[in-house]
Chains A and B, each alone.
Chain A
């Protein structure tokens, strides 16, 4: 067992527990975006910053990836943390203002406007979909491609991946697209249900355990009637 000190409160946690888990156990709220229970932490969004250490050695780390250390002093809402967190939210808003998830996070953290060049991206590269596909769906159909400003999420060669289970899990977890309809590019579509008006899943034998996240699914709705 390891003892950490969070905002002045001592807590004993198992070795390997992250600061985020420890803080949430004590009830200190830390906003997160790219973290999801059941998936590995990836540390992409930096929204979960906390301050560790003291004096000149104090520094900011992402709590979802930082393992608890014996005697560590953690502050989850110091002035520096709040300022940084707001800045990160502003940057997120600058790239994907249309995302309901990001809007909610901004509202909860009292960010009302951002001061950067406004863009309208459809992905913040949080990697949730990639981890969902790999760790929960065991499909590894999508992943990161390219690097720098060309980095993107998608299937190899931009064609529907053979290993995709058409579960829709990737779209379900995505904080930005929620459900991205790819009807206008059917060959790249993940499900393509709306183009052929028949759900891709029902012909599959293991229909019952498809773990489908496509909701609402156009094909499903039409078939019901």
Chain B
């Protein structure tokens, strides 16, 4: 962990007001500010721990306690308050069995009240994992909790036009890496073999470009660098480049129709890049006039259709 934190601190180096930005970035990766992180920040920025601690406790946005998987923020700013925001907050408290500022025992939900989310005209506002719900009625609360449980990000994946499925193959043996029998985000997954430490097992990645959903046989601790292998030819998938953010090796996979996708081999680092030999339909300028556009998106040689 401290490696990533050092990296974050280095990125903001030289700015006097950088501490808040650093803490923000750490919190977005860990959902809270661990004690060790504050110590690293103090050490790296050359400030005293109490100064960093003072900043972290000053802003309500920062949490020093681990938070649940889903964060629910109910707005109690003036406009939301007069529109019964407090009733909504109370309903969340009753349904989740916790008070505002607490986390459920199973670490599923954290509830907090905030003072203004800047969308007063549409209040009462509730934000769950970064997704806004406006004009919330008391009766909707249980639904919102249900939606959060199902995962708001995965529902979005289907609706978001920028996210599309890609088909990958092993760059060495050319076998398809797709596993149609195992679905993530309702799409066939990319199957790989991984090993880290003494563990050796399978890993399945969502085949949607832009989705970070994965499943693996063994829980991979955050920050571990994992070795990836092709499940067919057992060649190690390792390229020559390394991750621009964290320096871990990048894992190359070939895209049907041309191009190469590379993902970072460090768990928790979401860096990835796509090198395209040819265009992808969804970004193609001609997609409105093209007769052969693939509605599900993908990477294709245009010549294929000529």
Contacts and interface: CB of A to CB of B under 8 A. Distances in A.
A157 B58 CA distance: 14
Interface stretch (B44-52, B79-87, B147-155): B44-52
Contact of B50 (A146, A147, A161): A161
B35 interface: yes
B33 to A, nearest CB: 11
Nearest to B64: A157
Nearest to A162: B49
B39 to A, nearest CB: 9
Interface stretch (A45-53, A59-67, A135-143, A200-208): A135-143
A145 B57 contact: yes
B48 A163 contact: yes
A157 B57 contact: no
B58 A155 contact: no
Interface residues of B, number: 11
A157 B51 contact: no
A163 B49 CA distance: 9
A134 B50 CA distance: 11
B50 A141 contact: yes
Interface string B24-51: 0000000000010010000000001111
B58 A143 contact: no
A157 B64 CA distance: 10
Interface string A175-191: 00000000000000000
Contacts of A163: 48-49
A144 interface: yes
A163 B51 CA distance: 13
Contacts of A140: 48-51
A72 B49 CA distance: 41
A128 B51 CA distance: 16
Interface string A141-171: 1111111000000011100010100000000
B221 interface: no
A158 B58 CA distance: 15
Contacts of A157: 35, 53
Contacts of A143: 48, 50-51, 53-54
Contacts of B35: 157
B18 to A, nearest CB: 18
A144 B49 contact: no
Contacts of B58: 145-147
A102 B297 CA distance: 74
A163 B52 CA distance: 14
A147 B60 CA distance: 9
B65 to A, nearest CB: 12
Contacts of B50: 140-143, 145, 155-156, 161
Contacts of B57: 145-147
Interface of A: 134, 140-147, 155-157, 161, 163
Interface of B: 35, 38, 48-54, 57-58
Given A145-B54, A155-B50, 20 more contacts: A140-B48, A140-B49, A140-B50, A142-B50, A143-B50, A143-B51, A143-B53, A144-B54, A145-B53, A145-B58, A146-B58, A147-B57, A147-B58, A156-B38, A156-B53, A157-B35, A157-B53, A161-B49, A163-B48, A163-B49
13 contacts: A140-B49, A141-B48, A143-B50, A143-B51, A144-B54, A145-B53, A146-B57, A147-B57, A156-B38, A157-B35, A157-B53, A161-B50, A163-B49
